[in-house]
Each structure stands twice: as C-alpha cells, then as structure tokens.
Amino acid sequence: MSNNTFMKVEEVAEILGISKSYAYKIVQKLNDELKEKGFLTISGRVNKKYFMERVYYGTPDSTERND
C-alpha cells in the first residue's frame, strides 16, 4: 500500500539536492518541531504537507511568504 502522507529521507534529499545524511538532520528537525506541537512522528519520515510548508514558506508562524 502506497502512503503519500509521509516522505522518506531519500525523497527529501532528492528534492533538496542534498546528501542523505543532511536530509536526516532536516527530517529530525522538522519532526522535533511537530513533536513540540503535540503531533506523533515517525523516525526517518516527515509529514509531506509540513515539509512543503516549511521548505517553501519558512516557519509556520512567519509573516513573510515567498509567493
């Protein structure tokens, strides 16, 4: 069964054009942010919607958006 809700580290690395080890750090940081907000997280994976929001729009509380 295919799950499009979460992205694997390999996908994060490919999208951002970075190494897999650096992608792990980014996934961990995003998951830490989600944990602080009370969400459950999966190690080595990140919520796709949250990833896209953070990559393209900065912090969720940011007033500046790159439209």
| Cβ-based neighbour number of residue 67 at 10 Å | 5
Q: Is the pLDDT of residue 65 over 80?
A: no
Q: Are 64 and 43 within 8 A, CB to CB? A: no
pTM recorded for the entire structure: 0.78
Going by pLDDT thresholds of 50, 70 and 90, the confidence category of residue 4 is: confident
- CB contact burial 23-49 (16+ within 10 A = b; e otherwise): beebbeebbebeeeeeeebeebbbbee
Instruction: List pLDDT tens digits, range 36-60.
Output: 999 999 999 999 999 999 998 876 5
